[in-house]
Chains A and B, each alone.
Chain A
């Protein structure tokens, strides 16, 4: 368990830029984070680990990928977070925060969700721990991630559509903050990534760090050493930071945060639209959702509407710790576009029998394009499985000329 940056500042990034009404709750949460998470008071971390094992199915394997290794003439290992309960890494954080809320005596959970993976994980954790839960989700995301909406409802959570802006993750976070400001006394906001005001970025990283804790140990067991490169997709950055956390001090391990390049890295300043979600690669320092970080914004400081074929990466900001690590040169911020991600999706499905989330597929897009630069041993985090994305993938694949995609024409009528 890393304790870095417990003061909430990552160099010039981080901080607590939130309305005063939330500050007492954030102070209370900071105190709870320090006592229960960092100090294991009342055995909090022991209970968290036990529930991750029994309810979540941890540890997840680090699997040798035979056919990808053959294809690239490298040793490729997959950290299988898609096998965690719920089908993505998100449960690590959601279970940690809902449990923490219980230890704090909170009576209600709210959360935002983009792709629906965090909402789903939070709804599962809330049902598991008997906490009432409401999820805010952009209307556009509701339309492109319907299976996850059903899963949240099935677990007993309310799903509140957010209609402002483009109706994606950015608006959902703003709306959840408003709910929290209204119900702050009995409600905990389970933020879904390493974003927001301190202590969220540090706390979410600590809950997700189990990914790299296991991967580091499991790879050592199999190869007797460390990898040369670790790849993870990056939107807000929770799977990224979880996958990197225990490798940051290993100077020989190159860390690659693969962002969504969308359809283009150019921005349309007039329309306020960036057709990508590459805030680490192209964003400028700014203040968004409680933290100073790298942000897609226009020259006035208005936040841009981001874009990605994958809802979970579709966000104009990124965690402040990742912004710092990129500035320090410790993490390489790279990106691949929608087409490369879709090709990566089909490639992993066909070669390894693993249908990845579209978010995850970006990491495999980068692996395809740059494998020769990544050293001998490569770990890629499979942050989630792709069942939620099937409709989107079939639709987006048909719109484009994706060379390695199977034809679905004979099954017209959809799934």
Chain B
């Protein structure tokens, strides 16, 4: 990891496969969203990715786009987001997932430093920035190093060769393995590209978390069974929030559904791990 390991993220992957759920902070409103994120922690989350909504989310499919619209309409802003992180009662590391313009614009001076400084003060552990490839990440990487935060990069099915080395020399915490081409969104199958992608990065010494399209405990089991150190799940959880909100279900009911879905996904990941462990012990 080229000396970039900063915070406690990698540790969350140390003992068993990590379950990394995503929700957009403030979806559909501040108070309910606190409940939803805490429900994920109760359901077994090891790390939580919190979306700070940006108006032009070019890497998101329709599910997360809708969550972003709800959150923005609910009044979410970068400053409210940092308050939100402070108000959360969870004891797992939190990663901020957002787009570069919000990071770049924050604070009096332009550039990523004020945002990272504020994020560190709020207790965040790292960032995922879907529109920031390794080529443009220098200033953010520098600020993360200064304040002791991790910077997670996405490796796509199309990433190969020099690009892979360049990403792996900058990544810290965990690498986000994009399981399929396209944008975020729950799918009914496990992408055949997953195993190939995991193989391509097997030699790098950084936890590998697979995301894009994971929907069930069964998917989680197969992906961890294929060698992933963790699973990242967003859209299926966002759908629980979106559908429940639309139906007018109570915050409590929606939180229970999230907790139960989280448990299913975490258990699936653990089953996948058990399939691999005998092999590991046999070495």
Give residues in A with beta carbon < 8 Å to B.
15-21, 23-25, 27, 164-165, 170, 174, 177-178, 181-185, 272, 285-290, 295, 297, 299-303
Contacts and interface: CB of A to CB of B under 8 A. Distances in A.
Main secondary structure of the interface of B (DSSP, over half): loop
A300 B56 contact: no
Contact of A24 (B99, B104, B163): B163
B181 A300 contact: no
A21 B104 contact: no
Given A287-B99, A300-B78, 6 more contacts: A20-B156, A21-B59, A21-B159, A272-B55, A300-B77, A302-B55
Interface stretch (B125-133, B142-150, B201-209): B125-133
B58 A289 contact: yes
B105 interface: yes
Contacts of A177: 58
A286 B163 contact: no
Contact of B136 (A16, A181, A303): A16
B267 interface: no
B181 A286 contact: no
A17 B56 contact: no
B182 A181 contact: yes
A19 B154 contact: yes
Given A182-B181, A183-B181, A19 B101 contact: no
B65 A302 contact: no
A300 B102 contact: yes
B56 A21 contact: no
Nearest to A178: B183
B200 interface: no
A181 B110 contact: no
Nearest to A171: B56
B19 interface: no
A196 to B, nearest CB: 11
B163 A182 contact: no
Contacts of A302: 54-55, 72, 102
Interface in B226-268: none
Nearest to B131: A17
A212 to B, nearest CB: 31
A333 to B, nearest CB: 20
A17 B182 contact: no
Contacts of B273: none
B178 A21 contact: yes
A289 B58 CA distance: 8
A312 to B, nearest CB: 19
B101 A164 contact: no
Interface string B55-72: 111111100010001001
A177 B136 CA distance: 19
A301 B101 contact: yes
8 contacts: A18-B131, A19-B58, A19-B156, A20-B133, A181-B182, A286-B104, A287-B100, A288-B56
A18 to B, nearest CB: 6
B276 interface: no
B169 interface: no
A20 B55 contact: no
B202 to A, nearest CB: 18
Contact of A16 (B54, B60, B65, B133): B133
B183 A182 contact: yes
Nearest to B157: A21
Contacts of A165: 55
B191 to A, nearest CB: 12
B76 to A, nearest CB: 10
Contacts of A27: 163
A15 B137 CA distance: 11
Contacts of B136: 15-17
Contact of A185 (B56, B60, B110, B181): B181
A21 B160 CA distance: 11
Contacts of B78: 300-301
B102 A16 contact: no
A23 B159 contact: yes
Contacts of B130: 19-20
- Give 8 nearest A-B pairs by CB, closest first: A301-B105, A182-B182, A21-B156, A287-B101, A24-B158, A301-B101, A302-B55, A303-B55
